[in-house]
């Protein structure tokens, strides 16, 4: 499973690459799983001398992208959101880093991918979790519109557990997204925006949240929404 497995060679699942022919069943989390290794290089460090968070985030996006492509069998998949990134411990120069990703949950066109980042002891192979994250990818057709992906086949109790936890996160994301859309008319490019509630932002053009608020204000709004959602159970 190490390294990049070419999609065109993946004939084991009955799904032709890039969605030309769709199989009847679906794919298991293992079929979409991906693992890669990195070494922390001196040019990747922050002023503290540990691995820069942005580098880890880029690695996370990369492995999750591979899982989304493998599961969907589509050439075009995009990152719709990244959440719950937790940096458990710093990574130091020369350390070996293992990134693993797998599909936790599949909607109609979207997939939640879980990524685990571990520090590996090069002498005894033991691993310690350093970072984890959840990403949502959406499969796109040739015209760039969301398109359906194969269902996820849950085979083990662990698959069931991950799926159930992901289902809750998906619901939370949906609620936050629909509230933000209602409130700010947030919409994807080319789609008609929801009508903004505030008269001061009544332009008919789609209004991106980050175009009217500073990054800190956006984070404040997201935190408020999360608090309200938690409060409302
Ligand atoms: C992601 C994107 C294609 C969704 O487009 P959209 O018109 O909002 O699509 P829809 O409302 O039909 O939603 C499609 C699916 O994506 C999910 N989705 C959309 N935005 C999401 C978000 N921010 N977080 C999680 N899921 C999201 C929806 O729940 C839906 O899932 P489902 O089909 O499994 O039920 C669009 O927002 C986009 O192109 N974003 C930019 C992507 C990008 O540039 N990424 C960085 C580089 S890869």
Domain of residue 82, residue span = 7-153
In a domain, 34, yes or no: yes
Q: Tally Cβ neighbours within 10 Å of residue 25.
A: 12
Q: Is the pLDDT of residue 154 over 50?
A: yes
What's the pLDDT score for residue 225?
61
In a domain, 2, yes or no: no
Residue of 57, 80, 192 to mutate, ligand 1, most atoms within 8 A of C-beta:
80
Question: Are residues 13 and 117 both part of a single domain?
Answer: yes
What's the pLDDT score for residue 128?
96
Distance CA 135, CA 119 (A): 21
What's the rounded mean pLDDT across residues 117-132? 92
User: What tens digit of pLDDT does each residue of 1-47 get?
Assistant: 333 343 444 443 344 444 444 444 799 999 999 999 999 999 999 99
| Residue whose C-alpha is closest to residue 152's, from 72, 51, 63, 52 | 72
| Residue 171 backbone phi and psi in degrees, to 5 | -60, -45
Q: Is 45 helix (H, G, I), strand (E, B) or coil?
A: strand
Looking at 136, 153, 170, which one is the last position of a domain?
153
Distance CA 153, CA 45 (A): 40
Question: Are residues 105 and 135 both part of a single domain?
Answer: yes
Question: To 5 degrees, how large is the angle CA 151–CA 69–CA 86?
Answer: 90
Residue 96 tokens, joined? 């070996």
What is the atom index within ligand 1 of the atom nearest the CA of 61?
48
In a domain, 1, yes or no: no
Question: Are residues 139 and 68 both part of a single domain?
Answer: yes
What's the pLDDT score for residue 53?
95
Looking at 104, 122, 153, which one is the last position of a domain?
153
| Residue 92 backbone phi and psi in degrees, to 5 | -105, 160
Residue of 146, 170, 175 to mutate, ligand 1, most atoms within 8 A of C-beta:
146
The band of 173, judged by pLDDT with boundaries at 50, 70 and 90, is very high
Distance CA 207, CA 153 (A): 38
Which helix or strand (DSSP H or E) is residue 70 part of? helix 53-72
Question: Are residues 167 and 231 both part of a single domain?
Answer: yes
Mean pLDDT, rounded, of the chain: 80
Q: Tally Cβ neighbours within 10 Å of residue 109.
A: 19
Q: Is the pLDDT of residue 232 over 80?
A: no
CATH of the domain at 96: 3.10.129.10
Q: What's the total number of domains in the chain?
A: 2
Q: Name, in order, each residue with C-beta under 8 angstroms of 40's C-beta and a sequence gap of 6 or more.
A: 51, 91, 92, 93, 94, 95, 97
Q: Which residue has the higher pLDDT, 4 or 48?
A: 48
Question: Are residues 132 and 42 both part of a single domain?
Answer: yes
Residue 48 tokens, joined? 């503290």
User: What tens digit of pLDDT does each residue of 175-200 get?
Assistant: 999 998 888 876 555 454 444 444 34
Question: Are residues 103 and 205 both part of a single domain?
Answer: no
Distance 80 CA to ligand 1 centre (A): 5
What is the atom index within ligand 1 of the atom nearest the CA of 136?
25
Q: Which residue has the higher pLDDT, 57 or 205?
A: 57
Q: Is the pLDDT of residue 167 over 80?
A: yes
| Nearest CA, atom 9, ligand 1 | 146
Pocket of ligand 1 (CB under 6 A): 78-81, 107-110, 136, 138, 146, 173-174, 177, 188, 191
What is the atom index within ligand 1 of the atom nearest the CA of 107?
34
| Residue whose C-alpha is closest to residue 140's, from 78, 183, 82 | 78
- Alpha carbon of 215 to those of 49, 205, 223: distances in Å? 27, 21, 12
Question: Are residues 203 and 215 both part of a single domain?
Answer: yes
| Residue whose C-alpha is closest to residue 36's, from 106, 94, 110, 115 | 115
In percent, how much of the chain has pLDDT > 90?
Answer: 63
What's the pLDDT score for residue 1?
39
The DSSP symbol for 204 reads S
Looking at 112, 133, 153, which one is the last position of a domain?
153
What's the pLDDT score for residue 4?
37
Question: Are residues 128 and 168 both part of a single domain?
Answer: no
> How much is the pTM?
0.76
Q: Is the pLDDT of residue 203 over 50?
A: no
In percent, how much of the chain has pLDDT > 70?
Answer: 70
Distance CA 193, CA 230 (A): 27
What's the pLDDT score for residue 11?
44
Question: Are residues 123 and 179 both part of a single domain?
Answer: no
In a domain, 30, yes or no: yes
Question: Are residues 100 and 25 both part of a single domain?
Answer: yes
| Nearest CA, atom 13, ligand 1 | 146
Question: Are residues 12 and 71 both part of a single domain?
Answer: yes
**In the chain, how long is the greatest CA-to-CA distance?**
63
Question: Are residues 164 and 136 both part of a single domain?
Answer: no
In a domain, 136, yes or no: yes
């Amino acid at each position: 499973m190490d390294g990049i497995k070419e999609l065109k060679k993946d004939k084991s699942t009955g799904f032709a690459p890039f969605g030309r022919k769709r199989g009847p069943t679906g794919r298991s989390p293992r079929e979409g799983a991906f693992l890669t290794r990195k070494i922390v290089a001196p040019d990747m460090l922050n002023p503290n001398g540990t691995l820069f968070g942005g580098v880890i985030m880029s690695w996370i996006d990369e492995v999750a992208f591979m899982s989304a492509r493998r599961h969907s069998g589509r050439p075009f998949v995009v990152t719709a959101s990244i959440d719950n990134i937790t940096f458990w411990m710093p990574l130091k120069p020369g350390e070996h880093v293992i990134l693993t990703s797998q599909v936790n949950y599949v909607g109609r066109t979207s997939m939640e991918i879980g990524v685990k980042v571990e520090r590996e002891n090069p002498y005894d192979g033991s691993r310690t979790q350093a970072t984890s994250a959840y990403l949502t990818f959406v499969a796109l057709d040739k015209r760039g519109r969301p398109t359906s992906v194969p269902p996820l086949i849950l085979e083990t109790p662990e698959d069931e557990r991950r799926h159930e936890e992901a289902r809750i996160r998906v619901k939370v994301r949906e609620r936050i997204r629909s509230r933000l859309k209602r409130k700010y008319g947030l919409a994807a490019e080319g789609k008609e925006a929801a009508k903004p509630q505030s008269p001061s932002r009544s332009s008919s053009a789609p209004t991106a949240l980050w175009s009217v608020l500073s990054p800190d204000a956006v984070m404040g709004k997201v935190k408020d929404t999360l608090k309200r959602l938690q409060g409302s159970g």
